[in-house]
Each structure stands twice: as C-alpha cells, then as structure tokens.
A = this chain, B = another copy of it.
Amino acid sequence: MEKTRISLKEIYEPIQAYLPRVEEEIFSILATPNELSAEVVQHFFRNKGKYLRPALTLFGASFGASVELDAIRAGAAFEIFHSATLIHDDIIDSAYVRRNLPTVNVKWSSQVAVLVGDYLHDKAIETIFSVKNDRVIAAFLKTAGIVCDGEILELKEKNNFNLKEKAYLSIIERKTASLLATCLESGAILGGLITERVAALERYGHYFGMAFQVIDDCLDFMGEENEFGKTLGADLQAGVLTLPLIRLIEFLDEPAKAEIFSKVKSGLGHSKLSDLVHLLHEYGALEYALAKAREFTDCAALELTVFPKSPSRTSLETLLQYVLERSS
C-alpha cells in the first residue's frame, strides 16, 4: 500500500508564486549570443531540479516584511552556482545521467563541461554581486570556497576505507550543508531579519543540509534501482565512503573488512550489493545513519522555535519530515 507522502509542492506553497520569477531570472542571466553555451544551458535546465536553493532563499526572505527582487535574484544565483558544481561533479564522477538526461560531459565533452561550468560559476557570482549587499556577497564567496574545499576533500578520501565519521561529517558539511545554510542566511539578510534570526535560519540550513546529505547517502543502499534516478551502490563503486558503511566498518575485524574491500574493488554486482545491504542491516548501520539524520532534523526544528507560527515556519518544519520520509 502506498503511503501518502508529503510533496515539495505543498511545502513550497508560501513561496510558490516567486519560483517562476526565479526561473525567468535564471534564463535571463544565462542568455548569451554564444550558441554553444546557449545550447548547453537549454539542455541542462530542461529538466529542472527541486529548486531547493532558491526555495530556501525565498523562505529566508519570507520571514521579513516582503520578498523583493533581490531575494529572487539571489535565489537564481544560488541555483546557477549549484548547477555549475553539478556540471563539474559529473565530469569528476564520469556520470552519464543527470535528471534523466545525458550529462554535459556525455552529450558534449568534458572540455565543454569544464568551460560551461566555469561560465555558470562566473554568472552566479556576477549576479550575487549585482544584489549589492555586502553581507550576502561575503557569505556567498566564503561558501563557494568551502563547497569546493569539501569536494577536494571528498576526492582525496576516495577509496580510503578507513575514513572516520568525523571526517565524513566535515566533508558533507562543506560540500552540501554550507550552501543550503547560506541560501537561508542570504534570504534572511535580504528580508531584513534581525541578526539572531538570520543566525537561527543559517543554523537551520546547516542541520537540514546535514540530514539531507546523510539520507541521500543512505538511499544509495536502499530501495529499488533507479527509483531516485540513481544506481544503487553508486557512491561506493566510485570509492566514496558514506556514513552507513563507515559505521559498519567500525564493527568489523580486519579479515572481514578486507573481504568487503576486495568485493567492492572487483565491482559491485547485484548479489554482492545484496550481501552488503544485508550486513548493513545486521549491524544496524543504516539505522544508525538514519538516527543521525533525525538528530540533525531535531536540531534544525529547534532553531525554528524562535519564529512565531507562520506558513513559512510550518513549511520549513514539514521540509524536515519530507527529508526523513525519503528514506522510509
């Protein structure tokens, strides 16, 4: 029996009216007479993602008096920046598919993907600069560096089967949570919120981002192949260790560890993956990771208590449920 799931559409209701304007902004910012760039942009944004970053920016602003053009532009800038990192990530992971379409590196080439990623990156920064709010610009530039740093760390730790939980958390903090926190922070600044509330929303974004990434990593070992448009065990096969496996490894002795690593290294077939998933359940490693995600969403929810009840606050609370439900 199918459960009734919370939909993003419901959650986005308080800011829904602004999202088409974000989309218009994105296409207007990226409009170019350069035919190749234009083609790639059209392709990449054909199947738009969840627009999570613009949505969080708009939510941040929505706690203020009104949502102004600045927040819409900032939201567009964050989505463009995020898209740039995805295009570069797909080169790094040699990924074939993104949002059910061929990746830029596959449809064109890695070369095109490097340059178009750079182009989006530049445009994102130009847009944030045009918002002309020094706190937002500074926050964004700092975060851009941190995201990149997180990705370099992740790359460095590939195939490190002794990666510790603390190092993993530091990587996902950088590569995922920091940008989500900055979206909320920037929206809140542009909405004219007082410093304490800006900081509360930033922390919400941080905790939400941590939960979001831990769950995403758990999904790599859960559910049906392709349900989320991704291949099961894909992270591991690429040598990226995530929380469930890191937890499992803590319980194993050297020979058992060695057996798993040699299995992974020789390629993860369906049956090997089932064995691994079985082990993850046996040692409660997936459950451990999911509990960790819940700790993060609990912390996030706590940050919202300084805000009076409002549709936006309810949406951000529901968003936490939505993230946890993805794994149920």
Which residues of A approach B to under 8 Å, CB–CB? 32, 34-37, 88, 91-92, 110-112, 114-119, 121-123, 125-126, 129, 137-138, 141-142, 144-145, 148-149, 151-153, 155-156
Contacts and interface: CB of A to CB of B under 8 A. Distances in A.
A149 B32 contact: yes
14 contacts: A91-B111, A110-B110, A112-B152, A114-B114, A115-B151, A115-B155, A118-B118, A118-B121, A119-B149, A122-B148, A123-B145, A125-B125, A125-B144, A126-B142
A114 B91 contact: yes
Contacts of A115: 88, 92, 148, 151-152, 155
B144 A122 contact: yes
B141 A125 contact: yes
A115 B88 CA distance: 8
Contacts of A148: 115, 118-119, 122
Given A36-B155, A91-B114, A118-B88, A138 B129 contact: yes
Nearest to A142: B126
Contact of A88 (B114, B129, B152): B114
B129 A141 contact: yes
A68 to B, nearest CB: 21
Given A88-B115, A121-B118, A37 B152 contact: yes
A145 B129 contact: no
**Closest CB pairs A-B (n = 3):** A92-B111, A36-B156, A122-B145
Contacts of A123: 145
A114 B138 contact: no
Given A114-B92, A115-B148, A126 B155 contact: no
Contacts of A32: 149
A295 to B, nearest CB: 27
Contact of A126 (B145, B151, B153): B145
B156 A35 contact: yes
B91 A152 contact: no
Contacts of A129: 137-138, 141
Given A88-B118, A91-B110, A110-B91, A126 B152 contact: no
A115 B32 CA distance: 25
Given A141-B126, A149-B32, A155 B119 contact: no
A119 B155 CA distance: 14
A35 B152 CA distance: 10
A155 B119 CA distance: 14
Given A114-B114, A126-B142, A126-B145, 16 more contacts: A34-B156, A36-B152, A36-B153, A37-B152, A92-B111, A92-B115, A116-B152, A117-B118, A118-B118, A118-B148, A119-B145, A119-B148, A119-B152, A122-B141, A122-B144, A129-B137
Nearest to A143: B122
Contacts of A151: 115, 118
Nearest to A154: B115
A143 B118 CA distance: 13
B34 A153 contact: yes
Contacts of A36: 152-153, 155-156
